[in-house]
Amino acid sequence: MTDFLRVAWIVMRKDLTVEMRSREIVYTTVFFAASCVLVFAFALVREGRPLEDAAAGILWIAIAFAGTLGLGRTFERERHTETLRALMLAPSDRPAIYVGKLLGMLALLAVVEAVLVPLVGIMFHASFLASPLLMLALLVTGTIGFASVGTLFAAMLVRARSRDVLLPVLLYPITIPVIIAGVRGTAALLQATPDEPMARFWVSLLVFFDVVFVTLSLWTFEPLMTES
């Protein structure tokens, strides 16, 4: 078990080190997320002003879009140097590599969300700080749900044809429950009097989702990544 965690940690550290050298993915993904928010702000307009009720939806859409972009870019980098093969050749449990990659993605998405949440809060006059703990719980569980499926799909698509378009095609339908839960939970917290029981319900749904899908991903990672 410690070996598993050790390998995951090493893979994650390597991913973060590589990223910090150029910071290309972080900068471009954060900027892309911000652009998304702007597009929605201009697109969803009522009486000449952005639709404030849309804050929850816009936040999660931006996370999903930015996440898909970040996943694609991260694995494109691995594909370019075929280093994913080198990782598969290590004498460790292969799912540990999946966990390492997942942790790296979570770190990236954490940075993106750290910028997105204040941005959406300011532009849409949304009080994300009303129930900070529940909001954080929603963001954490939702991001894990999205990233767990996304990391698996992006990894398995690395050698596939049309992988750029197939990633969103496969990922979005599967992560719809995450989006629903995230948006409804956030909207509940953004009401005049935050509806905490509702938000807690959505957090528990997300926890279930995370457990099921991380387990499924760990299970299917090795058969999907090896050719037989």
- How is residue 162 annotated by DSSP? T
Residues forming beta bridges with residue 45, ordered by sequence position: 50
Does 149 bind another protein (CB under 8 A)? Our answer is: yes
Establish if 157 lies at the interface with another protein (CB under 8 A). Answer: yes
Nearer residue to another protein within complex by CB, 69 or 157: 157
- Strand 49-50 and strand 45-46: the pairing is antiparallel
Q: For residues 104-123, which are near another protein according to CB under 8 A?
A: none
Question: By CB under 8 A, is residue 44 in contact with another protein?
Answer: no
Q: Are 109 and 20 in contact (CB under 8 A)?
A: no
> What is the rounded CA–CA span in Å between residue 91 and residue 129?
46
Smallest separation, CB 38 to another protein (Å): 27
Taken in order 150, 151, 154, 156, is the CA torsion positive or negative? negative
Per-residue tokens: 202: 């959505």
Total residues interacting with another protein, rule: CB under 8 A: 57
Q: Is 85 in the site for another protein (CB under 8 A)?
A: yes
Q: How many other CB atoms are there within 10 angstroms of residue 83's CB atom? A: 13
117 contacts 128 by C-beta, under 8 angstroms? yes
Q: Nearer to another protein by C-beta: 129 or 176?
A: 176
Q: In the numeric block, which tokens belong to residue 174?
A: 């599967």
Closest among 31, 53, 202, 26 to 116, alpha carbons compared: 31
Smallest distance from the beta carbon of 114 to another protein, in angstroms?
A: 23
Q: Does 198 bind another protein (CB under 8 A)?
A: yes
Interface positions, 4-23, toward another protein (CB under 8 A): 6-7, 10-11, 14, 17-18, 21-22
Which residue ranges make up the site for another protein (CB under 8 A)?
3, 6-7, 10-11, 14, 17-18, 21-22, 81-83, 85-94, 149, 152-153, 156-157, 159-162, 166, 169-170, 173-174, 176-177, 180-181, 184, 197-198, 201, 205, 208-209, 212-213, 216, 220, 223-224, 226-228
